[in-house]
C-alpha cells in the first residue's frame, strides 16, 4: 500500500512547549490564515519558492530569492517515525504535529497518528481548528480517533476582530472547540496575547466565559506576543505588520491569564446556580 506523502517544513526534537513532556515536533507546510503576529510565515504556502502572501504591497521576491524562500521537505509517516525512533529516549512525551496548519494535510496526519498509536506513541495535534467542517466530520473523526490531545489555538474571541487579526472568521474554531468538548476529547487552549489587538479585559473575560462552557479542557496556555520573527520577515522580503507593537511582558501575560481564569469562574458559577 502506497503511503501518503506529507509536505513538511521542519522537524524538531526535544520540544518543550508543544504538549506534555519533551516531544518530537513536526511542522507541516501550508496555512490558510495570515495571523498578523505569525512567527512562521515560511510555513504559509504549500508550494516552494513563492511569495507567501501574494500581497502587492509586500516587497517583491526575486527569482534568485525564491529558490531559498521555501525548501519544502517530503516525508512519509514511516520516514518520520524512523526519525522519532532514533531520539525516542529523549522525546518520551510523544509526537506533536503543528504548522502551518496540520489539518490542511488531514489524510497524512491521520496516517501518521494511526501508525504512531500502533507503537503506543502519545499524539498531539496543534491546530487553529479553522478548517473544521461541522457538517461533515467523518475525516476529522478519523483523525481524532488516533489523537490523544488537541492543542487548540484560539486567536481572538470576537469574530470581527478575529478577521482583522487572521483574515478568517473564528466560527469554525469555536465550533471545533465545542465539538471536542462534546466528544470529550482532551484539549489544551492556547492563546497568544498581543498588545492593542486582543488584550482588552472584555475580550479576555469573554474568552474565559467561552472556555468555561467546555468540558474537556485540561490546560490553558497564555502565550505572550514577541517580535523575534522580524528578521525572518526581512529575509523573506515580507513587511512585518506589527512593527511598533512591543512584546508582552511576563507580568502582563500573567495578568491576562488571571483575567481569562476570572471569566472561566464567572461562567462556571453561572452554570451551577
Task: Report residue 216's pLDDT band, with 50, 70 and 90 as the boundaries.
Answer: very high
Instruction: Tell me which residue of 215, 173, 42, 28 sits closest to 109, measured CA to CA.
Output: 28
Percent of the chain with pLDDT over 70: 90
Q: What confidence tens digit (pLDDT) does each residue in 115-157 have? A: 999 999 999 999 999 999 999 999 999 999 999 999 999 999 9
Helix (H, G, I), strand (E, B) or coil at 120: coil
Per-residue CA distances from 20 to 63, 123, 189, 215 (Å): 42, 10, 13, 19
Task: Write down the pTM of the prediction.
Answer: 0.90
Residue range 13-25, pLDDT digits in tens: 989 999 999 999 9
Question: Are the C-beta atoms of 189 and 219 separated by less than 8 Å?
Answer: yes
Q: What is the mean pLDDT of residues 212-218?
A: 97
**What is the C-alpha separation between 269 and 210, in angstroms, rounded?**
13
Partners of 24 in the β-ladder: 95
Domains of the chain are 6-198+213-247 (3.20.20.70)
Secondary structure E strands in the chain: 6-15, 23-28, 73-75, 94-98, 123-127, 149-153, 187-193, 217-224
**Mean per-residue pLDDT for 86-95?**
94
Cell of 120: 503506543
145/49 Cα distance (integer angstroms): 35
**Averaged pLDDT, 31-48:** 90
Nearest residue to 53 via CA among 132, 167, 197, 142: 167
Cα separation, 244 vs 82, in Å, equals 44
Strand order in the sheet with 6-15: 73-75, 6-15, 23-28, 94-98, 123-127, 149-153, 187-193, 217-224
| Percentages (nearest 5) of helix, strand, coil residues in the chain | 40, 20, 40
Reading the block at residue 261, the C-alpha cell is 481564569
Q: What is the pLDDT of residue 204?
A: 98
> Residues 118, 132, 22, 45: what is their CA dihedral angle, to the nearest 10 degrees?
110
Residue 53: pLDDT band with limits 50, 70, 90: very low
Q: Is the pLDDT of residue 72 over 90?
A: no
pLDDT surpasses 90 at 79: yes
Q: At 236, is the pLDDT very low, low, confident or very high (cuts 50, 70, 90)?
A: confident
Percentage of the chain with pLDDT > 90? 84
Look at residue 12 and tell me whether its pLDDT is greater than 70.
yes
49 pLDDT above the threshold of 70? no
pLDDT confidence tier of residue 47, bands split at 50, 70 and 90: confident
Task: Give residue 62's Cα distance to chain centre.
Answer: 30
Amino acid at each position: 500500500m502506497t503511503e501518503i506523502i506529507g509536505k513538511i517544513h521542519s522537524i524538531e526534537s526535544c520540544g518543550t512547549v508543544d504538549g506534555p513532556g519533551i516531544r518530537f515536533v513536526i511542522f507541516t507546510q501550508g496555512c490558510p490564515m495570515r495571523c498578523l503576529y505569525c512567527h512562521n510565515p515560511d510555513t504559509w504556502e504549500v508550494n516552494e519558492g513563492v511569495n507567501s502572501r501574494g500581497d502587492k504591497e509586500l516587497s517583491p521576491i526575486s527569482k534568485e530569492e525564491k529558490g531559498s524562500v521555501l525548501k519544502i521537505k517530503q516525508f512519509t509517516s514511516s520516514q518520520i517515525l524512523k526519525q522519532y525512533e532514533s531520539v525516542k529516549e529523549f522525546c518520551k512525551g510523544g509526537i506533536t504535529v503543528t504548522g502551518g496548519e496540520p489539518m490542511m494535510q488531514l489524510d497524512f496526519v491521520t496516517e501518521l497518528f494511526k501508525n504512531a498509536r500502533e507503537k503506543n506513541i502519545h499524539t498531539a495535534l496543534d491546530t487553529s481548528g479553522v478548517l473544521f467542517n461541522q457538517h461533515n466530520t467523518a475525516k476529522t473523526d478519523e483523525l481524532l480517533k488516533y489523537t490523544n490531545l488537541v492543542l487548540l489555538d484560539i486567536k481572538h474571541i470576537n469574530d470581527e476582530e478575529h478577521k482583522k487579526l487572521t483574515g478568517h472568521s473564528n466560527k469554525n474554531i469555536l465550533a471545533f472547540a465545542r465539538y471536542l468538548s462534546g466528544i470529550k476529547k482532551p484539549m489544551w487552549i492556547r492563546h497568544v496575547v498581543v498588545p492593542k489587538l486582543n488584550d482588552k479585559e472584555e475580550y479576555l473575560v469573554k474568552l474565559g466565559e467561552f472556555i468555561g462552557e467546555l468540558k474537556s479542557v485540561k490546560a490553558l496556555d497564555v502565550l505572550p506576543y514577541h517580535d523575534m520573527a522580524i528578521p525572518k520577515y526581512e529575509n523573506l522580503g515580507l513587511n512585518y505588520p506589527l512593527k511598533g507593537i512591543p512584546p508582552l511582558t511576563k507580568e502582563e501575560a500573567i495578568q491576562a491569564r488571571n483575567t481569562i481564569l476570572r471569566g472561566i469562574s464567572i461562567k462556571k458559577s453561572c452554570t451551577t446556580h
